[in-house]
Chain A
Amino acid sequence: MIIIFAVFLLTLLVITAIAIVRAENLFVAVMLMAIFSLLMAANFFILDAADVALTEAAIGAGVTTVIFLGALSLTAENEKKVELSRGVAMSIVTATTLLLIYATFEKPKLGDPEAPVHQHVAPWYLSETPKLIDIPNVVTAVLGSFRAYDTLGEVFVVFTACIGVLFLLSAKNPADKQSRRTPPESIGLRHHLIPKVVGRLLFPFIVLFGLYVQFHGEYGPGGGFQAGAIIATGIILFALLEGEKTALAAVPHSVMMAMVAGGALLYTMVGVVTMFMGGNFLDYSVLSSNPVFGQQMGIILIEAGVGITVCGALLAIFHAFAARENY
Chain B
Amino acid sequence: MLEQVLYVLSWIMLTVGGFFVLVGGIGALRLPNFYTRMHAASVTDTIATFLVLGGLLLQAGLTIATVKLIAILVFLLLTGPTASYALANAALLSGVKSNATFRKVNGKGSKSGAGQETSVNQETDASQETSASQENNEEQSK
Seen from chain A, the residues whose Cβ lies within 8 Å of a Cβ on chain B are 22, 24-25, 28, 192, 194-195, 198-199, 201-202, 205
Contact = CB atoms under 8 A, between A and B. Distances in A.
21 contacts: A22-B106, A24-B108, A25-B107, A28-B107, A192-B86, A192-B89, A194-B82, A194-B85, A194-B86, A195-B82, A195-B85, A195-B86, A198-B78, A198-B79, A198-B82, A199-B82, A201-B78, A202-B75, A202-B78, A202-B79, A205-B75
Given A28-B107, A198-B82, A205-B75, 18 more contacts: A22-B106, A24-B108, A25-B107, A192-B86, A192-B89, A194-B82, A194-B85, A194-B86, A195-B82, A195-B85, A195-B86, A198-B78, A198-B79, A199-B82, A201-B78, A202-B75, A202-B78, A202-B79
B93 to A, nearest CB: 9
B102 to A, nearest CB: 14
Interface string B48-75: 0000000000000000000000000001
Contacts of A25: 107
Contacts of B108: 24
Nearest to B90: A192
Contacts of A201: 78
Contacts of B79: 198, 202
A25 B106 CA distance: 10
A160 B84 CA distance: 38
Pick the most buried of B75, B82, B86: most chain A CB atoms within 10 A of its CB.
Answer: B82
A202 B77 CA distance: 12
Interface of B is mostly: helix
Nearest to B89: A192
Contacts of A198: 78-79, 82
Contacts of A192: 86, 89
A327 B94 CA distance: 23
Nearest to A201: B78
A202 B78 CA distance: 9
A299 B85 CA distance: 43
A22 B108 CA distance: 11
A28 B106 CA distance: 10
Contacts of A199: 82
Nearest to A25: B107
A76 to B, nearest CB: 13
Contacts of A202: 75, 78-79
B71 to A, nearest CB: 9
A192 B108 CA distance: 30
B80 to A, nearest CB: 10
A195 B80 CA distance: 11
B28 to A, nearest CB: 14
Contacts of B75: 202, 205
A192 B82 CA distance: 10
A293 B75 CA distance: 37
Interface in B2-41: none
Contacts of A24: 108
Contacts of B106: 22
A195 B93 CA distance: 15
A30 to B, nearest CB: 15
Contacts of B82: 194-195, 198-199
Which 8 residue pairs across A and B have the least CB separation, nearest first? A198-B82, A195-B86, A194-B85, A195-B82, A198-B78, A194-B82, A192-B89, A192-B86
A25 B112 CA distance: 14
A289 to B, nearest CB: 35
Contacts of B86: 192, 194-195
Contacts of A28: 107
A194 B75 CA distance: 15
A56 to B, nearest CB: 18
A22 to B, nearest CB: 8
Contacts of B107: 25, 28
Nearest to B108: A24
Interface in B76-102: 78-79, 82, 85-86, 89
Contacts of A194: 82, 85-86
A192 B88 CA distance: 11
B109 to A, nearest CB: 11
B86 to A, nearest CB: 5
